[in-house]
Amino acid sequence: MEKNVKTPIDTIKEKNQFNDTIEKSINKEKLYDLMQLKNDLDSFVLSVKKTNLPFTLYTDTIRENSDTKVLWAFKKGIFELVDPDSTVLLVRHHFLIPKTSRILRLNILEIKYSNIHKCNLFFNKFVDRKDYKVDLLEGAYLDYGLTGTTDYVIKINETILWFNISCQYSKKEFNRLIEIFRSNLQLTGNEEVIKCFCGKACE
């Protein structure tokens, strides 16, 4: 056999090495273990909300050619503050409890920017929005928060993690969910955070 001629086995080895390199690179940048977080959230919802089933997890990477229904949430829906085109990576983890009429859904958005400056500019949108109030006319206003639902946003270097939670969870349960979320993150304690409970004024 001639030298430098690749056999099928060589090609498979190269492909596996390439995949291993990519996987190591992705793992190196991971801010948390998604499956461990899901296990912790499952334990919470099964014991506290007394659901018969754990969460079903759907993960999708948001791109300009994503499903129209998915993109709607980033144009007119709860994630309208996010412009997918301005991000390096935009991933949504959608947690749902099947076979229940209760809306116990959770969302985690991973929003990654090319540098800290761009990340800070986007985070400032949250800062500007967090005190938003709905004008009810005749001098009356209603606190709205970021989305009118429950939100916890944390900035870690070039990445923003947005934990969006249904209003079906009480404030005590919300705080417990935040503890679970934070316990799965690698934090320094200097991260900027915005916390809004069910359309009320943000902290």
Pick the CATH number of 32-196 from 1.10.20, 1.25.10, 3.30.70, 3.40.1000: 3.40.1000
The residue that leads in pLDDT, 85 or 105, is 105
Domain locations in the chain as residue ranges? 32-196
Question: What confidence tens digit (pLDDT) does each residue in 142-166 have?
Answer: 566 788 889 999 999 999 999 999 9
Q: What is the mean pLDDT of residues 86-99?
A: 92
Contacts of 49 (CB under 8 A, 6+ apart): 97, 102, 104, 169, 173
Q: Find out whether 179 and 193 touch, Cβ atoms under 8 Å.
A: no
DSSP letter at 17 equals H
CA end-to-end distance (rounded Å), the chain:
70
Q: What is the mean pLDDT of residues 191-202?
A: 86
Question: What confidence tens digit (pLDDT) does each residue in 106-123 have?
Answer: 999 999 999 999 999 999
The residue that leads in pLDDT, 136 or 156, is 156
pLDDT score at 24: 42
d(CA 175, CA 152): 10
Q: Which of 9-23, 141-155, 160-174 has the lowest mean pLDDT?
A: 9-23
pTM: 0.79
Q: Which of 129, 160, 135, 161 is nearest to 147 (CA)?
A: 129
Q: Find out whether 150 and 197 touch, Cβ atoms under 8 Å.
A: yes
